[in-house]
Chains A and B, each alone.
Chain A
Amino acid sequence: MMIPVFILCSIVIFLILHLVPGNPVDNLLHPGSPLEAREQLIKEFGLDRPIYQQYIIWLANVFKGNLGVSITEQRTVSELLLLKLPNTVVLGVVSFLISFILGIFLGALSAIKQNTIVDYIGMVLALLGVSVPTFWLGLMLMLIFSVNLGWFPISGYGDLKSLVLPAFTLGLAGAGLIARVTRASMLEIAQKDYIAIVRAKGISNSQVIIKHIFRNALIPIITLLGLRLGWIIGGAVTIEIVFNRPGLGRLLANSLFRRDYPVIQGSLLLLIFAVMVGNLIADILYAYADPRIRYN
């Protein structure tokens, strides 16, 4: 089922970008260039063929690992993607970890200390995390830690120091929802009869929380894990622009401005593939956390 959806996604990606008014070669030509030059370019990129032929040629090439050549840069799309991919993967993985560790910690703490000041502060923070636009958080962290305190560089990439602010921006903004789900899930489980039975057996409170409540509360959190991947990828687009980091997100945004179809299609395909793999991993982890679930 994953492959058909992926192929349908590729059709959608291919179609929406080709039904747009405006030809990508127009961005390449100087105003006033002769019409012959335009037609020659259109032929060169295969844009004169019927659309289904273009799609089939493109899809066949995709499965061969050939994503085409960028229209605006003299490079193959796979080259461009491979060049930018590591930066985005590092940013994504680190912020993913930050958001989950922080979110689960905050949510569990709030649940354990329910209806105390700790809980209220935690939940207000989580609510702010859900409400804040990611890029604004990035700007503010940049203002405080780069401009005023000078601890971290404003932009750039490569070293660890330049990763701290972007990763924390994305991680903090993502932690809010995770904290809320963790808290609600733990409180829900704590209500169950089997927890009362475990408590009645005389098991210590910390054991009950860690082994019984938390373990059972993990299931919705794991499912959230798969869904959050898409969010992190989307967030990376804005964060890479805010912090001027080269990466897939910025590549995609720039290509959208320049109507560089092959690059847009390639990076979208890669991102959607990543989202689907993320969901698959979440499904597998799901079965691992909940022994009741078995896949055939």
Chain B
Amino acid sequence: MLMLTHVSAIINLFIVKYYSEGVDTKNIGRKKKKLKSNREKQYIPRNKSRIMFLKFKKNKMAIIGLVIISILIFTGIFADFIAPQSYREQNLPLKSQSPSSNFWFGTDEFGRCIFSRIVYGARISLKVAIVSTGISVLIGIIIGSISAYYGGFLDQILVVLMDVMWAFPTILLSLIIVAIIGASLNSVIIAIALSYWVQYARLIRGQILSLKNELYIEVTRSLGANDSTILWKHLLPNAIIPVVVAATLGMGSAIVLEATLSFLGMGAQPPMPSWGSMLSNGRTYLFIAPWSAIFPGIATIITVLGFNLLGDGLRDIMDIKIKE
């Protein structure tokens, strides 16, 4: 089992590391590859954040991701001005209408404008993504860093705890948690946070384990710094970047999980325009009004794609190398 833990920790890191394309290597297919012109290499700035910015500008995928997320945030904030209709106003004579110039994405079974509901739904997806990922990263950082830094018996207990949580498939775990605390948007957020923290805890634990024996930590300690200073001011800032990348990708997964839970009837309750619950209704009316299932799904995919592209891009830019 120790071996298992070890192996799955490595994979966890591996997935975070290699989840992507963009590894620039020799060509396996042995076809001629264009060489970059020397001109591109001439200007090398000293400032680290400037280098990051230049790398980011070159990474088209990351920029597309950032644009998608910016549009999502913009839509969420200005939903009241963008949406042509209210998300809850029912108009039964106009129920289940196909897309038209009045209703861009058609209407649902209550005659509500699907486009407007999707626009308002952006708020819910954003809230879920940010709050649930925020909570799980926080839990993960606290448990993971304490476990790695203090080691010993405490570490063993926490590792077993993580192993137990790890054995549950995320969707089942969150489904159980929501079933226990009752179906609502807030319980979905809590459930997602409690299902995802383990991956961040494992990541940060691995990072701190590899950093805590570095020379600069020893120097800091010999200068008289106490444990909490070393942990929070010196170790964590150096261990945080992979977590930032994982959290970006994790926001995408959180949105998918929210949609799935809402689809199963465990999420946001009507008339809240969550994309998942719209899909759940759309399933019932799949034959007479397929658009009510198509468009919320496309909105979800584009959003998740945005987070994945940005996460992949950030990883390539930060050039994360995780020690095994």
Contacts and interface: CB of A to CB of B under 8 A. Distances in A.
Contact of A5 (B23, B167, B297): B167
A271 B172 contact: yes
Given A114-B27, A190-B25, A223-B11, A180 B18 contact: yes
Nearest to B19: A180
Given A180-B19, A220-B14, A253 B264 contact: yes
Given A131-B301, A275-B169, A295-B3, A139 B282 contact: yes
Contacts of A181: 14-15, 18-19
Main secondary structure of the interface of B (DSSP, over half): helix
B303 to A, nearest CB: 9
A251 to B, nearest CB: 12
A183 B276 CA distance: 32
A128 B305 CA distance: 7
A113 B14 CA distance: 23
Bin the interface of chain B by size: 35 or more
Contact of B33 (A115, A184, A275): A115
Contacts of A128: 301, 305
A115 B11 contact: no
B308 to A, nearest CB: 6
Nearest to B22: A184
B179 A257 contact: yes
A136 B297 contact: yes
Interface stretch (B73-81, B127-135, B255-263): B255-263
Given A127-B305, A139-B293, A253-B264, A1 B168 contact: no
Interface in B144-201: 160, 163-164, 167-172, 175-177, 179-180
B318 interface: no
B219 interface: no
Interface stretch (A23-31, A62-70, A97-105, A226-234): A226-234
A85 interface: no
Interface residues of A, number: 79
Interface in A190-206: 190-191, 205
Interface string B17-44: 1111101011111110100000000000
A117 to B, nearest CB: 12
Interface stretch (B86-94, B111-119, B283-291): B283-291
Contact of A185 (B18, B30, B164, B294): B18
B263 A131 contact: no
Contacts of B25: 114, 187-188, 190-191
A213 B287 CA distance: 48
Contact of A133 (B7, B29, B297, B309): B297
Nearest to B61: A127
B143 to A, nearest CB: 16
A276 interface: yes
B2 A223 contact: no
22 contacts: A1-B4, A8-B164, A17-B176, A114-B28, A116-B31, A127-B308, A131-B304, A131-B308, A135-B279, A136-B279, A147-B287, A147-B290, A184-B23, A185-B18, A190-B27, A223-B10, A223-B11, A230-B167, A235-B171, A272-B167, A283-B3, A295-B3
Given A5-B167, A110-B21, A256-B175, 17 more contacts: A5-B1, A8-B164, A17-B176, A112-B28, A113-B29, A119-B21, A132-B297, A132-B304, A135-B279, A143-B286, A184-B20, A190-B28, A209-B28, A226-B8, A227-B11, A241-B264, A256-B176
Interface of A: 1-2, 4-5, 8-9, 12, 16-17, 19-20, 110-116, 119, 123, 127-128, 130-136, 139-140, 142-143, 147, 177, 180-181, 183-188, 190-191, 205, 209, 213, 220, 223-224, 226-227, 230-231, 233-235, 237-238, 241-242, 252-253, 256-257, 259, 264, 268, 271-272, 275-276, 279-280, 282-283, 286, 295
The 9 closest A-B pairs by CB, nearest first: A1-B1, A184-B18, A234-B171, A234-B169, A136-B297, A230-B169, A131-B304, A256-B179, A190-B28
